[in-house]
Amino acid sequence: MAQKLIVGNWKMNGSLRSNALRFQVLAGEVQLPNQVVVLVPFVYLAQAKASLTGSDILWGAQDVSDQAGGAFTGDVSAEMLADFACHYVLVGHSERRKTHNESDIVIVDKFQHALNRSITPILCIGETAQDRQEGKSESVVLEQLDVVLKRLECLDPASFVVAYEPVWAIGTGKSASVESISAMHSLIRAHLKKWNARGEETRILYGGSVTTENAERILKLENVEGVLVGNASLEAHDFAAIARITA
């Protein structure tokens, strides 16, 4: 039984009041078999730190600036995230690739800035429904991965996490089948091993409509080292149930 990484992405949800209840439930979870992380909106990082310090739950952010600091109105730097003891940060989530037109170069820079501050980047990759229809899923996913692998020299395989998130499965209630998750994760693993002899050490998460019903099946798959959970992480008891799964 290996420890998995269970990550909750709250997206743009929450309030001081509703967060307090969620944090209370999560902080009450002890002796979890997995490493558990909640990624909260920037403005609630102080609350996350105050509520979760000393608990088994870690916290992080959903994005980071591609710049170190300066005249970048509205952005939040990796150094600022480190001030709030963020452990993880999402990079290249499909919602940001789409709504903020994040380019490959911006994603690499964000990834590098996170690493510079010892915050573990979770690189989100995944094909759209159209890519899938056109039979391009594998090539799209590997290209998105290569953006980082090929541009960053001396990248330690254990220093980052990959989240395979088929875009068509995010927030739709339609998770990918276990067969297709298995196939894509094996492909990603093989690619990581070809890139680096220690490619086994990069954790690969699955994300896309993970729920209390399907999480165990997914977590038991080979090459699935954890899950990235959106909507289901907003219901603290559901998220805690996923966090308790031993797979």
Contact residues: ligand PEP, CB under 6 A: 9, 11, 165, 170-171, 207-210, 228-232
Q: What whole-number distance in Å separates Cα of residue 51 and Cα of residue 64?
A: 22
User: Which is nearer to ligand PEP, 229 or 240 (by Cβ)?
Assistant: 229
Q: What whole-number distance in Å separates Cα of residue 241 and Cα of residue 166?
A: 23
CB 226 to ligand PEP: min, Å: 12
- Tell me the residue number closest to ligand PEP, measured at CB: 230
User: Which is nearer to ligand PEP, 13 or 196 (by Cβ)?
Assistant: 13
Cβ neighbours of 133 (radius 10 Å): 11
Q: What whole-number distance in Å separates Cα of residue 229 and Cα of residue 205?
A: 10
Residues with Cβ < 8 Å from 164, sequence gap 6 or more? 125, 126, 141, 181, 184, 185, 188, 204, 205, 206, 207
User: Which is nearer to ligand PEP, 66 or 165 (by Cβ)?
Assistant: 165
CB 188 to ligand PEP: min, Å: 16
Q: Exactly one of 95, 127, 165, 225 is catalytic; which is it? A: 165
Number of alpha carbons in the 13 Å side-chain half-sphere of residue 133: 4
CB 197 to ligand PEP: min, Å: 30
Taking a C-beta distance cutoff of 8 angstroms, is the pair 243, 35 a contact? no
Q: What whole-number distance in Å separates Cα of residue 120 and Cα of residue 112?
A: 10
Please confirm, yes or no, whether 222 is among the known catalytic residues.
no
Q: Exactly one of 93, 95, 102, 127 is catalytic; which is it? A: 93
Q: What whole-number distance in Å separates Cα of residue 226 and Cα of residue 144?
A: 20
Please confirm, yes or no, whether 93 is among the known catalytic residues.
yes
CB 58 to ligand PEP: min, Å: 17
∠ CA 229-103-194 to the nearest 5 degrees? 70
User: Which is nearer to ligand PEP, 11 or 151 (by Cβ)?
Assistant: 11
User: Which is nearer to ligand PEP, 202 or 209 (by Cβ)?
Assistant: 209
CB 32 to ligand PEP: min, Å: 19
Q: Which residues are catalytic?
A: 93, 165
